[in-house]
């Protein structure tokens, strides 16, 4: 950590800071420049994070040198983490597709969708039993009844189930039915929920918060890993910007950036990012080309009847075309799908 | 709700939509213009929110006419809601100040701060017992021990206690100690937590999410009100923008805008908005001038020792000056403080 | 255009608006719903754009139905515009690459770079002679001397020259040397400059403003087209968001969205979008996969000596690998490069 | 400037950087920490701005210590700059109001507005003769005819004229008629225009770009000052964010922040920031309370007939009330208006 002093700092300000660093077991490297005096803290600057150095008299600014996350960083573990789910891998050479409706609606619709997905070669079924809805008057999901419908599909098709956890009180219940637990964008900084899934033995898909920086995103992953669960799959799903033609703006550069900063798998949800079915296939292809380890796509047999997120759901025919296009792009960059 | 059809829609698309509207008990008003045909849905468009009209064949776009919130809207209830807390009012002529440290640290520090605040005429003490921290390695708050320290201050000084709820499992515990429950910015869209505080009989300060639109902010307030708790106090605390000199950007226009759209009280937290103590007093004055019903300010006797948010905490002397300045501005616009 | 009246509007407000519409030659279609009365303006709503309907007494809001741009819209012209430049096409099946240094520095360096690009199969050389620099103390470009160096390369290699126009007073000069004129991101809303290039007979690359919506971007293209120059090539180059790990956020969804809204060619500049050479190849591949008609990439033989934008410039070896990868992705989606 | 090396850098990388610094006349202060080696450049880091240190092998990141602007910084000149305009001061104790219509429309309307403003005690009349409009089909201003109308008002009333320059070719013309030249938000980074007004002897109001950081805003002011014109008045006018209820988001914290970083006067334009007349008075009061040196407000006698920006123009009666309220707030904080 670099501490920059104000041009008019007092000598006693400098001494006080040096003393504080020494108390914390750090060395202080002082460098008096033409315009500023700076102090470099030598040692593990993480002990300094809890100390508000900016509040010390005479301090102009504080510049961290190290990244605030550790367990999830590429520096800590160089090789890619590959998450194993019932014989399938997320984070390996094969790009995985997780697809399904936004919300579980009825047994019939769910089975119809699952049939289409299986035909298209998809192994992972997504569907919400508990839905975070902006309006208290909107459909909130079927709860356990929805989970049971998902489990029924798993039994009949062998598909693995991905579903969202919204409340720490539902953890045990969800773990009974799901193969992968999803933490939604609105809960990326729900630290209690992160701690909760850090203590279970299931893979977790962590969606990036709508206005979370890459650093904050990785800090949330660190919360889970710090509890002992390292099976974290990061999911870029669009960030909030000024643009209104799309629901959010897909930050495609997050894919290579995250692959550079962390060893965790990175997948992309193009459906929530753009919020319009017609743009999803192009975004899916772009995600694969950028190096994503997987896709999370909303598919519905009759979007106009969907109880949630109809406008962004692909119909099965469009989805099948998208799969074929993405496969060709995957091959072009040396992967499979 | 207005449904705009594509220039090349089929007649059958139009009929299908009209039939769907009629099934929902709505009338359909068709208007064929030179460039577009539009359908106006007559009746309560709220029944339409669950129907993904954009997914119907032939539809170009859908324009809502009514606001999605109801109970919290000024249209629903014209006069201001005034929240009563032990004989003090939030939302009336008097501007209220809620101040204190970010986190409860120790009995000594808390009492010292409370003494300074009481001297400055503050009736509400804020302090976190459970802290949402970006890093899993940061101080997470003292939990119930912190709540007890806050209760001790209440007993000795008569100050009312404001503290944050992060987990639905802590609701009963917090209600034992707090006079006002705070929902933090990261939990504004934690709908389970909102439902939870909708069912208690305590005032709730709802902080705007870092990237929440005004509409989403009011929808979250609607979640609480829909459960029966109408003692909701809205708090603008800065939004996330591209600017990095301040921690967030205080959206001061949210104050008159919210006062226009809703009957709920609106307060401002300048400390988290700017993240730098030196800018807080100017932002507090601006908030009062813009019509805020209250302020939420971080104050610490020794910011350089604070376990959380030191850089944005005012020292008591600076806080006392700020109080005096704000009082003069309050009087200038015909209010008291 | 739909005009929504306030619930408490007066009958005379309604009449006044209807009269105003009729004065403009528009019909008024009145629809009285349960909660709101709305007026639909029948006819070409573009005549209404200059009338501040929101300022009329009794008006709650105004919703446009038609898009504000015309000549550049897909609705106006269905087939793709293909821009011809000396026998090469931009906007056709072949994806074009425009590459080179940020600024023209010296004859030696420019020729070295041009040699590498030609070897990699690039036909278009970019290089700035006039540079918009954030600091008045930074290198501002060599001006006409730089243009002459570019012309020299064209003569020797046959490469076509792309260079930026910053000032309407330089138009004639630039047209003497350049094959394609570039309007930079900071000048996307410099309407005088747009009008200027609308009156020349050269293709124009129009870069999206850093915080321009898609609508504003297309309105700027409309400015050029309205003067008679329809050889406009749109360039997505990243938008400003809260994320700081990358210089800007590449809005990859702008590619399919623009292809849907306009008939103009769309290219992508991944270099300025991310500002870091290591992320450029992944973004280039994603752009091709998303349907871009071309790429604009910064390449420098020795980035550490570049007078501008070194950190985002690819070295020739990395560029050659990128070209090869992009070619494979192009083929995978049925195009050539 | 601090240069942080990668953990796996080579010794030769370090030497190469040190040599480069020495070539530039800088000292190199090397500090080997537990996790990273850092190099501090001793001397004036401004010579380093042109060198892309990030591109040197072995470099992880580069952290500037000094601010990139100089002449406009508070560090360079401690006392406030007070701009004198015909006996009136901007930047002194008195808060100045600049008001008028968005565009000059006709002699009658302009005189009517000027009469109302004079009655309210306003000395500065704003009005556009050249208008930057998003649409090429919108009213673009009357040009010189408009300037003459403004000059007519000045002659009759003594009001000073503020009008916008959009094109360097109009500089001489505008200087003939205007007392203060305005550079609009879309031209904040039009460096040629900045250089142009840096060479004239008139005060310049520089409006913040819609997505300009404070640093970039000050760099644009530096452009003007670097040419010799130090009569620069900064104007905060709202930044682009995700919020759509207001046209832009007024960054009120920019006021105290700028007053801290620069000696230049800072004014606020609440009209363009919010885009809705009903919110303007609250924003004007907040601006005064936050420490603004002036206000720029749109006023029109009949907004529903305005040729530009009607919805955000205050009617004279509302404006008079706003003036009175702002005056009381000004007095409350020890200033006059």
User: Are B211 and D242 within 8 A, CB to CB?
Assistant: yes
- In angstroms, the separation between the Cα of residue A155 and the nearest Cα of chain B is 30
How many DSSP H helices and E strands does chain B contain?
A: 10, 14
- Per-residue pLDDT, averaged over B225-229, amounts to 97
Q: Which residue of A has its CA nearest to D240?
A: A242
User: In the block, which residue shows the tokens 């919290």?
Assistant: B72
Minimum Cα–Cα distance from B307: chain A residue: A50
On chain D, the residues whose CB falls within 8 A of the CB of A44 are 34-35
pLDDT reported for residue A9? 94
State the Cα–Cα distance between residues A292 and A235, nearest whole angstrom: 9
In angstroms, the Cα distances linking A70 to A75, A225, C102 are: 8, 10, 36
Most trustworthy range by pLDDT among B103-107, D8-12, D233-237, D301-305: D233-237
Could you tell me the pLDDT band of residue B5, with boundaries at 50, 70 and 90?
very high
Q: Which uninterrupted H or E stretch holds D38?
A: strand D37-42
Instruction: State residue C157's pLDDT score.
Output: 95
Judge whether D226 and C227 are in contact, CB under 8 Å: no
Question: How far A139 CA lies from chain B's nearest CA (Å)?
Answer: 8
Dmax of chain A from CA atoms? 76
Q: Domains of chain A (ranges plus CATH)? A: 2-63 (3.30.70.1140), 83-332 (3.20.20.70)
Please indicate if any CB of chain A lies within 8 Å of the CB of C291.
yes
Residues of A in contact with D37 (CB under 8 A): none
| Chunked mean pLDDT (size 10), chain C, 337 residues | 92 93 90 87 80 90 90 96 96 98 94 97 96 89 95 96 97 97 97 97 97 98 97 98 96 98 98 96 98 98 87 95 98 97
Do A257 and C279 count as a contact with CB atoms less than 8 A apart?
yes
Question: What backbone torsions phi and psi does residue A59 show, to the nearest 5 degrees?
Answer: -90, 130
In the beta sheet, which residues pair with residue A296? A98
**Chain position carrying tokens 């010292």:** B112
Residue D218 has pLDDT above 90, yes or no: yes
Asked if pLDDT for residue D45 goes beyond 80, the answer is no
Which two structure tokens, joined as six digits, stand for B179?
């006079």
Q: Is D138 an interface residue toward C (CB < 8 Å)?
A: yes
pLDDT value, residue A223: 96
Chain C residues with beta carbon closer than 8 angstroms to that of D187:
190
Flag if D274 and B253 touch (Cβ within 8 Å). yes
User: How many CB atoms are closer than 10 A to CB C77?
Assistant: 15
pLDDT of residue D307: 84
Name subunits touching B (3+ CB pairs < 8 A).
A, C, D
CB–CB of B213 and D260 under 8 A? no
CB-based contact A2 D42, cutoff 8 Å = no
Whether D283 and D274 have beta carbons less than 8 Å apart is answered as yes
> Which chains have 3 or more CB–CB distances shorter than 8 Å to chain C?
A, B, D
Nearest chain D residue to B327, by CA: D332
Q: Assess whether pLDDT exceeds 80 at residue B46.
A: no
D241: chain B residues, CB-CB within 8 Å? 239, 241, 249, 251
Whole-angstrom distance, CA of residue B316 vs CA of residue C128? 55
Q: Write the DSSP symbol of residue C79.
A: S
Q: What is the pLDDT of residue B308?
A: 81
Cβ-contact D83, D231 below 8 angstroms: yes
In this prediction, residue D93 carries a pLDDT of 97
Whether B199 shows a pLDDT value over 80: the answer reads yes
CA proximity to A218, closest of A49, A91, A72, A64: A72
Nearest 10 degrees: Cα torsion A268, A272, A278, A280: 0
pLDDT for res D44: 79
A240/chain D closest Cα distance in angstroms: 7
Question: What residues does B183 pair with on adjacent strands?
Answer: B206
Q: How far is C333 from chain A (nearest CA, A)?
A: 7
> Would you call B241 and D239 a contact, using CB atoms and an 8 Å cutoff?
yes
Beta strands in B53-203 (DSSP E): 59-63, 83-85, 88-90, 96-100, 124-126, 160-164, 180-183
pLDDT tens-digit map of D256-275: 999 999 999 999 999 999 99
By the 8 A CB rule, do C107 and C152 touch? Answer: yes
User: At a CB cut-off of 8 Å and minimum separation 6, what does A229 contact?
Assistant: A197, A198, A199, A200, A201, A202, A204
A34/D44 touch (CB, cutoff 8 Å), yes or no? yes
Residue D316 has pLDDT above 90, yes or no: yes
The DSSP-derived string for C246-313 is: SSSB-BTTHHHHHHHHBSS-EEE-HHHHH--GGGHHHHHHHHHHHT-SEEEEEB-S-GGG-SS-GGGP
Task: Label residue A34 by pLDDT band (50, 70, 90).
Answer: confident
Q: What is the pLDDT of residues A40-93, one digit of tens each?
A: 888 877 788 778 888 899 999 998 888 999 999 999 999 999 999 999 999 999
Residue C322 CA to residue C280 CA, distance in Å, equals 9
Model pLDDT for residues A277-325, shown as the tens digit of each residue: 999 999 999 999 999 999 999 999 999 888 888 889 999 999 999 999 9
Higher per-residue confidence, B326 vs C310: B326
Q: Confidence class of residue B310 from pLDDT cuts 50, 70 and 90?
A: confident
Which residues in chain D (70-129) have CB-CB distances under 8 A to chain A?
A: 75
pLDDT at D46 over 80: no
Cross-chain CB nearest to A239 (options C214, C241, C286): C241
Whether D54 and C310 lie within 8 Å, measured CB to CB? yes
Q: What whole-number distance in Å separates Cα of residue C212 and Cα of residue C228?
A: 23
Q: Spell out which residues of chain D touch residue B255, defining contact as CB-CB under 8 Å.
A: 282, 286
User: Which of B29, B34, B65 is the closest to C44 by Cβ?
Assistant: B34
Using the Cβ of B331 and the Cβ atoms of chain C, whether some distance falls under 8 Å is answered with no
Mean pLDDT value of segment B173-186? 97
Tell me the shortest Cα–Cα distance from D276 to chain B, in angstroms: 10
Residue D48 scores a pLDDT above 90: no
A29 touches chain D (CB under 8 A): yes
Q: How confident is the model at residue B306 (pLDDT cuts 50, 70, 90)?
A: confident
Q: Does C325 touch chain A (CB under 8 A)?
A: yes
In whole angstroms, how far apart are CA D319 and each of A238, D120, D278, D279, D332? 42, 8, 11, 12, 20
What pLDDT does residue B42 have? 86
Verify whether the Cβ–Cβ distance D240 to A240 is below 8 Å. no
Mark yes or no for CB contact D245/B278 under 8 Å.
no
How far, in Å, CA of A297 to CA of B94, rounded? 52
Contact list, D252 vs chain B (CB under 8 Å): 250, 252, 283, 286
CA distance C24 to chain B (A): 15
- How far apart are alpha carbons C150 and C138 in whole angstroms? 21
3-class SS of residue C337 = coil
Check residue A109 and give its pLDDT.
95
Cβ distance of A138 and B50 shorter than 8 Å: yes
Please indicate whether, in this complex, the C-beta atoms of C56 and D304 are within 8 angstroms of each other.
yes
> Which phi and psi angles does B111 have, rounded to 5°?
-70, -40
Chain D touched by B214 (CB under 8 Å) = yes
Helix (H, G, I), strand (E, B) or coil at C7: coil
Residue of chain A nearest C276, judged by CA positions: A257
User: Which region among A108-122, C56-70, C267-281, D214-228 has the lowest average model confidence (pLDDT)?
Assistant: C56-70
Q: Which of C269, C280, C272 is nearest to C314 (CA)?
A: C280
From D39, D3, D47, select the one nearest D23 (Cα to Cα).
D47
Radius of gyration of chain D (CA): 23
Mean pLDDT of D90-109: 96
pLDDT over 80 at A6, yes or no: yes
> Average per-residue pLDDT in chain A?
95
Residue of B290, B334, B335 to mutate, testing the D interface (most D Cβ within 10 Å of its Cβ): B290
Helix (H, G, I), strand (E, B) or coil at B234: strand
Residue of D100, D202, D107 whose CA lies nearest to D145: D107
- Determine contact, residues A27/A43, Cβ cutoff 8 Å: yes
Of C219, C226, C304, the CB nearest to D52: C304
Q: How many CB atoms lie within 10 A of CB B79?
A: 7
CA distance to partner chain C, nearest, from residue B185 (Å): 17
Best CA proximity match to B54, nearest among A309, D180, A27: A309
Length of chain C: 337
**Cα B233 off chain centre by:** 6
Gap from C156 CA to chain A (nearest CA, Å): 35
Question: What percentage of chain C's residues is helix, strand, coil (to nearest 5)?
Answer: 40, 20, 40
Count of B-D CB contacts under 8 Å: 125
- In angstroms, the CA D329 to CA D337 distance is 9
Residues D153 and D123 sit within 8 Å (Cβ to Cβ): no
Question: What's the CA gap between A237 and D243, in Å, rounded?
Answer: 20
C68 Cβ under 8 Å from any chain B Cβ: no
Partners of B244 on chain D (C-beta within 8 Å) are: 213
pLDDT, averaged across chain D: 95
Q: Is C180 helix (H, G, I), strand (E, B) or coil?
A: strand
Q: Is C336 on the interface with A (CB under 8 A)?
A: no
């Amino acid at each position: 950590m670099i501490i920059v002093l104000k041009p008019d700092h007092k000598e006693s300000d400098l001494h006080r800071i040096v003393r504080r660093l020494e108390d914390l077991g750090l060395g202080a490297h002082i460098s008096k420049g033409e315009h500023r005096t700076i102090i470099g803290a030598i040692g593990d600057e993480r002990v300094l994070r809890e100390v508000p150095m900016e509040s010390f008299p005479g301090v102009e600014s504080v510049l961290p040198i190290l990244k605030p996350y550790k367990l999830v960083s590429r520096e800590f573990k160089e090789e890619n983490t590959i998450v194993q789910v019932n014989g399938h891998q997320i984070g390996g050479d094969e790009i995985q597709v997780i697809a399904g409706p936004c919300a579980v609606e009825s047994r019939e619709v769910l089975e119809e969708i699952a049939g289409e997905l299986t035909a298209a070669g998809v192994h992972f079924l997504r569907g919400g039993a508990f839905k975070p809805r902006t309006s208290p008057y909107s459909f909130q999901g079927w709860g356990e009844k929805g989970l049971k419908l998902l489990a029924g599909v798993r039994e009949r098709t062998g598909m693995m189930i991905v579903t969202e956890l919204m409340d720490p009180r539902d953890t045990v219940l969800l773990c009974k039915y799901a193969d992968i637990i999803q933490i939604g964008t609105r809960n990326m900084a729900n630290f209690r929920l992160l701690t909760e899934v850090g203590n279970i033995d299931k893979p977790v898909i962590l969606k990036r918060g709508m206005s979370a920086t890459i650093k904050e995103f990785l800090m949330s992953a660190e919360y889970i890993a710090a509890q002992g669960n390292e099976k974290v799959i990061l999911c870029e799903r669009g960030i909030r910007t000024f643009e209104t033609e799309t629901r959010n703006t897909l930050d495609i550069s997050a894919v290579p950036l995250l692959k550079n900063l962390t060893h965790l798998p990175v997948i992309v949800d193009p459906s929530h990012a753009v919020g319009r079915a017609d743009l999803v296939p192009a975004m899916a292809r772009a995600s694969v080309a950028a190096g994503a380890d997987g896709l999370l796509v909303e598919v519905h047999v009759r979007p106009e009847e969907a109880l949630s997120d109809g406008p962004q759901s692909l119909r099965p025919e469009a989805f099948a075309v998208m799969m074929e296009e993405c496969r060709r792009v995957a091959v072009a960059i040396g992967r499979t799908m």
